Structure 1
């Protein structure tokens, strides 16, 4: 089955973004004191298709958790990044790092590709994009930039585009248009995040590489740093992920995370469906996050929802999970989590849904199911509503993940 890209029209390739939280987190700031902490995070992956209908989530994932660690880093490489069965980017490298030095407290993320090509329509050589977010001397700031070694449009060299100005739009006959060096930053009450994208491809006409009406971001970086706070809220949520042995078959779909909350607003990330070729079909799904950091109390809540799932012969009804965490100024910490599964069926046979933490169900010859898989620490809780180990495929599918915690 070919990956499909649907009506919401967004695909990303070679992504390094600094908003991620790992599914398990070691909380290194266990003290209940009011000492200030900075929140940093980052992740990187080679390909990601984010749309109404997607072939898979992020692949070749590298990330470090939302952390107070000043030396956190991760890196990953991939030979080729594909979209719609076409090799778009070659020799992709992504990395993200935190720092505390003369520059201040911050995070920097980089992504490079030796070659970005759409047949004879567009050829970008030696692409590099980077972004940095910094807190220094009480001020938040960011920077971002993209450069190229060579730019060819329709086979014609365009040397004036080697160092494009921010958000530079260029027409590409046979495709539509591209935006080079897309950069920006957003300050919130709790910190700042910045982003930079080497090139965004806008397919406004029919072509052989990208479905008409779809946008593709190639080499996308993001960096995030919080202001100093007495407590930092963290967490993440995603609908599904699948691994074959140690390889990522499908990354975290409808993924959301935070290192500073949402200023009390609920943020929703939805997808119409997810097709994981030869593994699973995940129906309409969404995640939510809501969190804030305040003088009296800091709190965060994540949820994950999916209408239904098919994994091989297994048919599973609606799946939901949630995780929340809070801390008050006097040091009190609270954690909560929930998960639920509507039904489990193989053919005409229905199986009972287990309710206890980490309860299991073995369906001979089909799969082992683990329900309500919980990881709990003093200031962090993570729940996977359902984990399926598919015997015939040697595949693990995680469904309905939510996690929340506080640091400080």
Structure 2
């Protein structure tokens, strides 16, 4: 049995994103005690395109949304992350796990790769990045770092960069520049989250590997822990997620999750256009979250916005969704959701957007569309504005996902 820190934990509460179905949350009955609980969340990515046109969303993912389970963990091992058809990171392993031991309680996210290459322009070997956020003895803290076994820019080895200082910027001829060991943390009255990225590639000049104007984070990690609270806010939002033949070909874009809220501030995460090979073209995506946890009231709102989606001959206009949840100290609570879609076209023919929840439209020979797909549980709601299924290609794309809930 792992040592406790004097706070009684509820049964596990977690969010698992499911392609084609609203995200699910396991609400398991726990102790009736009002003892404070901790919230854990985090992720590790092999690569994540942050702007411009690219050929996929995040790859080689390990992640979990807000959970009170100090044993929660996720891993993804031995894979290659590609950008624009190029193998950027090889033998990638990601790991995100919560912990509760003598050092404290928190989350650690780690990502490693045998090598990171941009053709002959840049070679990084033995790459490891990690970040930890934890709560111990009444205090919040974080650590983050990146190390390399070898760094070569062009044909020149640079041993001084094996253990780079945080946010080290280096010019790379023929590409633009890179930022090594990008780390940081944000502490609030409700908790702390930290991030670490081994290297961010900035393609500022035309090259054959990464489209000009694109930024790519390689080995990207995040860890979040809330301070003990009587209620946590949970949920997530993302722009798109795609699956083909039961294989996730593009994971959640512009993903946001939370345990602690945002102290009432709106946090926005955006990504440029995406081309998911042989699946879909996606316009610009952004998500927002806004919420807080407090003695009188806890609340959270997530939104997702997608400029448009094209799947074969099918063209969908602007798509949006939102999900909200709240709870007051007198045990009153509520949830709500909404979604909108601007237009649906196949060639020159337009189709009406159905109203209401969980409506479907089958366009023969093109796709099955599910609109405003909603799933509810006690004090939790999730909505997918649109799910596109192309039976002939065995392809499914979730568009504009939002979910929100309150746990106490």
TM tier, shorter chain?
0.7 to 0.9
Matching of residues 363-374 of structure 1 within 5 Å: 363-374=363-374
Contact 1:44–1:76 under 8 Å retained in 2: no
Distance (whole Å) between structure 1 residues aligned to residue 212 and residue 345 of structure 2: 38
Alignment correspondent of 2:383: 383
Distance (whole Å) between structure 1 residues aligned to residue 217 and residue 169 of structure 2: 14
Q: Verify: 1:227 aligned to 2:246, yes or no.
A: no
Distance (whole Å) between structure 1 residues aligned to residue 176 and residue 318 of structure 2: 40
**Displacement of 1:32:** 7.0
Distance (whole Å) between structure 2 residues aligned to residue 352 and residue 122 of structure 1: 50
1:84-139 per-position Cα deviation (integer Å, ceiling 9, x unaligned) = 33222111111100000011010001111111223333322111111111100110
Alignment correspondent of 1:185: 185
**Displacement of 1:299:** 0.3
Distance (whole Å) between structure 2 residues aligned to residue 211 and residue 361 of structure 1: 36
Distance (whole Å) between structure 1 residues aligned to residue 305 and residue 198 of structure 2: 33
Alignment correspondent of 1:340: 340
RMSD in angstroms over aligned alpha carbons? 2.4
Aligned residues: 390
Q: Verify: 1:299 aligned to 2:303, yes or no.
A: no
Alignment correspondent of 1:330: 330
Distance (whole Å) between structure 2 residues aligned to residue 206 and residue 351 of structure 1: 40
Q: Verify: 1:249 aligned to 2:249, yes or no.
A: yes
Q: Which moved more, 1:24-33 or 1:244-253?
A: 24-33
| 1:378–1:203 distance in 2 versus 1, CA, 3 Å | same
Matching of residues 7-406 of structure 1 within 5 Å: 22=17, 23-28=23-28, 34-406=34-406
**Displacement of 1:196:** 1.7
Normalising by structure 1, report the TM-score. Answer: 0.87
Contact 2:66–2:259 under 8 Å retained in 1: yes
| 1:114–1:290 distance in 2 versus 1, CA, 3 Å | same
Q: Which moved more, 1:125-134 or 1:165-174?
A: 165-174
| 1:250–1:56 distance in 2 versus 1, CA, 3 Å | same
1:292-350 per-position Cα deviation (integer Å, ceiling 9, x unaligned) = 11110000111223343322232333322211000111222211111233333334444
Normalising by structure 2, report the TM-score. Answer: 0.87
| 1:119–1:334 distance in 2 versus 1, CA, 3 Å | same
Distance (whole Å) between structure 1 residues aligned to residue 321 and residue 68 of structure 2: 27
Q: Which moved more, 1:130-139 or 1:343-352?
A: 343-352
